[in-house]
Amino acid sequence: MKLLTTGGAGFIGSNFVRYWQKKYPKDKITVLDKLTYAGHKQSLAGLKISFIKGDICDPSVVDRAMKNIDVVVHFAAESHVDRSILGPEVFVKTNVIGTQVLLQHALKYQVKLFHHVSTDEVFGSLPLNKPQLKFDENTCYRPHSPYSASKAASDHLVRAWHDTYDLPITITNTSNNYGPYHDPEKLIPRFITNLLSDQKVPLMGQGENVRDWCYVLDHCRAIDLIIHAALKDKKITGETFCVGGKSERTNLEVTRTILKLLGKDESWIEPIPHRLGHDERYAISTKKIEKMLGWKPKYSFEESLAETVAWYQQNQSWWRPLKKTSEDLK
């Protein structure tokens, strides 16, 4: 099989490429990545892949990358809520226009499957006082930030290319992923790297906001199952699957766990105001993917977070050069 992985030098993308090459060493993988602040070629070190540096908004680059490809796995996106508030234009360009360019060329070259990776943030926010409520595949879209609005638009485009042009597609809407190779601008890696740099951790409000945390390899496993199911059964194409870790935690609970793992107390917490468009709670129902494909999260939050902390301790040469860029958002 020949795969094109857009954004394959980013966090989830690089973990997926590593996962796929280890499991399917005979498959050919091409990574298309612009190598922006969140794309790091060193995250792919040691892998036998083809790499194209380029922008998914550039039709000539995408045309070259898409030739002879069987499956497209589309990770490439601008993905930081704070950055989207400061500069929404690039989010619309990359996440909406870039996805449209990819879809056009996937149709042109008749790929067997276009898998689109999205987020649970397209669904908006759940109230803290109703823990029984969860997002699922039938939840209405209510994005609150320029980032989530641009991802919602890309989801709709992918479905439109399926419904209008019969392009075989699948989508995953995933909760907050965590794990190795995660840029230090995001909550878990920022808190880990701050503490490893003897800096306090900036916790919004009282840390009351809730997120569902999904270990990145669980998401990779889900995409793997979906791709192979869709290639075998056309009834799977056109389907969306919500992927979560069944690990809802308040931001304060996550912070306390990281502090404990690194031998720090709560004096290392620096309270900061809530950002604009800060959703209260995300939670994912995984009933559909469990029923249709037999997938369940495999990795526990506590064990995987400990492994993630250990990875950052052991790979400081990877993240320390990236630290200044992430600190610019404070």
What 3-state DSSP class applies to 198?
coil
Give the DSSP H/E element, type plus range, for residue 260. Answer: helix 251-261
Q: Which residue among 33, 120, 212, 224 is the active-site one?
A: 120
Residue 224, CB-side half-sphere exposure with 13 Å CA sphere? 20
* 239 assigned to active site: no
Beta-strand relationship, 176-178 and 201-204: unpaired
How many angstroms separate the Cα of 230 from the Cα of each of 4, 233, 240? 16, 5, 11
CA atoms of 70 and 89, how far apart (whole Å): 32
Give the DSSP H/E element, type plus range, for residue 215. Answer: strand 210-215
* 141 assigned to active site: no
Q: Which residue among 147, 178, 215, 282 is the active-site one?
A: 147
Q: Which residue among 121, 155, 224, 279 is the active-site one?
A: 121
* 63 assigned to active site: no
Residues 6+ apart with CB under 8 A from 70: 1, 2, 3, 111, 112, 113
How many angstroms separate the Cα of 223 from the Cα of each of 37, 38, 80, 145, 220? 25, 21, 22, 26, 5
Active site members: 120-121, 147
